[in-house]
A and B are shown apart, each in its own frame.
Chain A
Amino acid sequence: MDKTAWILNLREPFGAALARELVAKGWKVLGGDSGVKDDERASSDLSVESDFQIGENRLVPTGSGTTGLIEFEGSVAYGPESNQRRTEPEPATRLQVAEEDRDLPHHGRLIPIPLDGSDPQALEQAKRHTAEQIANIDLLVLNAGKFVPDSSGAGLEDDSLRDAAENRLQEYERYALTPLRVAEQMLPLLDAGSGLKRIAFVTSSEGSLSAGEAPADAKIGGAMAHAALHMQAKLLFNDLRRSGYTFRLYDPGLLPQASSAGTSGLPPTSINKLPGEPMASLASELADSARFAAGLFTNPSDDEDQLTLIVNPKRRRL
């Protein structure tokens, strides 16, 4: 039987890259996609068979590289490096990377579901559409993130108090409430399965005070919203572990970190930069991060009784 994953924000670059990796591993992937209208839903043709073995993939690290630390807040693990590299030519500009990485192949194993994440009623429709396609979900990926940092969520800065409040509330809706809404709606489909029952949160370590890296320049709104998401993950972990659910909490490390490399003990990230093209490696970073995540999300962990924030070991640094 197919293993099935559902990804929030399927067309967001990390979501799309993760979807491709999961399909390559033999998974069927559905996901919320704000770019698809209801009458444009892809068919559910399942005629394409995968040659990949589902489950352990010797080419992908297990992603279980926990350090053995006990509690989530205070537990930050840096998984083993992926030694896979993209072989296709890299696009010259960051914008091109983002656009190309939004492309989703259409071969029946990747099904976008129309979803406007800001519309709660749309979630109910997305749940119905999903249930039309599959009997259950094995892996739910709550990817509320933004690939490209922007200027929202300012505080103690130039925004008026009103603008700052609105931005910060929007970030709470985006990073904390939308994932919770999705979890609530999709839970019955997870409950219906007898397999993996895994929930994976894509987050940012800026929300963690004890991760050892709380960047001083982190926007307050985004940092607060991610802290709320981490709390949400812990509460769901406390509840659903009792029913056999397992959890992953992952920072893709794609947003630039301004803190120095020495603060966390990580080796400096090696980014090969071509002259005049400082972002030329972004596509490969995205692919590496998604590849790592695909292994992390689908493989067993050393300790499913602890909730650990796993940070992409090749996180980007300025």
Chain B
Amino acid sequence: MNPAQYAVVTGADRGLGLALTEQLLVRGWHVFAGRYLQDWQQLDELQMRYPDLLVLLPLDVSSESSILAAAAAVEERTRHIDLLINNAGVISDRNDDDIHMAQDYDEMIRMYNVNALGPIQVSEAFLPLLQHGQFKRLCYVSSEAGSIGQAERTAWFGYCMSKAALNRGVYALFQRLRPDGYTFRLYHPGWMRTYMSGTRNEAAELEPEESAEAALDYFIGASSSEDESIAKIDEERLVMRDYEGKEWSW
């Protein structure tokens, strides 16, 4: 019998985070799902289906006290975790304001706190639990919007800066933790039909479940041993890869 495997997923209320959580549960993982939207009920429904595998964690990744409380709550239930997926993220409805328009700096700070600093803070808080596990896998949901080399936008300052900073922060963690056996995945999920902007984006290309399936194949390996697309990952090299397996430049 395989030992129990434990995962933490932030931003699991809906969209990609919810889909990742569900697909991990299907694969038999124990999942601690970070919950920010207390009134959103999909996680409650999922817990009714997986009462022995799913634990809901109140978690605001922009709050240090919330992060520390979540880590403590996980530690009450398990001495180790194997997989940490930093998925929580926010976006602004002021993205298209170019530099000739008044910028919303409070929004930029909010996005930086959630999208850039949050994943780093969460990683640091859960490191002791990862240290006790064998797998030691750290995963981050980033975005092509953080690719400076391929940036073509003429606005979107807050969101793009937050994702570029996230990529740089993950690289710093990679440099420090890779020698201790940690492995990293940095993922661009594609344009998904999620509620990230407040309402479901029906014009997008992907259902979150589609991106989650590709993400998990990348994060923990294919569920089918015949899938060779995830072969040959070089653990000594941090890259950002998308749902089609394509690498994005920094």
User: A residues engaging B (CB < 8 A)?
Assistant: 71-74, 120, 155-156, 160-162, 164-165, 168-169, 172-173, 176-177, 180-181, 183-184, 187, 207-210, 214, 216, 218, 220, 223-232, 234-236, 238-240
Contacts and interface: CB of A to CB of B under 8 A. Distances in A.
B143 to A, nearest CB: 12
Contacts of B153: 235, 238
A239 B101 CA distance: 13
Contacts of B149: 71-74, 210
Between A161, A214, A228, the greatest number of chain B beta carbons within 10 A of the residue's beta carbon is seen for A228
A231 B146 contact: yes
B99 A220 contact: no
Interface of B: 64-65, 67-68, 98-100, 102-103, 105, 108-109, 112-113, 116-117, 120-121, 124-125, 127, 146-157, 160-162, 164-169, 171-173, 175-176, 249-250
Interface of B is mostly: helix
Contacts of B249: 71, 73-74, 210
Contacts of B167: 209, 227
Interface of A is mostly: helix
Given A73-B149, A73-B249, A224-B165, A235 B64 contact: no
Nearest to B71: A161
Contact of B162 (A180, A181, A228): A228
A187 B250 contact: no
A164 B112 contact: no
A161 B153 CA distance: 33
A177 B106 CA distance: 10
Nearest to A74: B149
Given A72-B149, A169-B117, A238-B154, 16 more contacts: A73-B147, A73-B249, A74-B149, A74-B249, A156-B124, A160-B64, A165-B121, A172-B165, A181-B103, A184-B103, A216-B175, A220-B173, A223-B168, A231-B160, A231-B164, A236-B99
B217 to A, nearest CB: 25
B161 A216 contact: no
B121 A232 contact: no
Given A156-B173, A187-B100, A234 B105 contact: no
A56 to B, nearest CB: 30
A276 to B, nearest CB: 35
A176 B172 contact: no
Contacts of A207: 168
B165 A210 contact: no
A177 B116 CA distance: 14
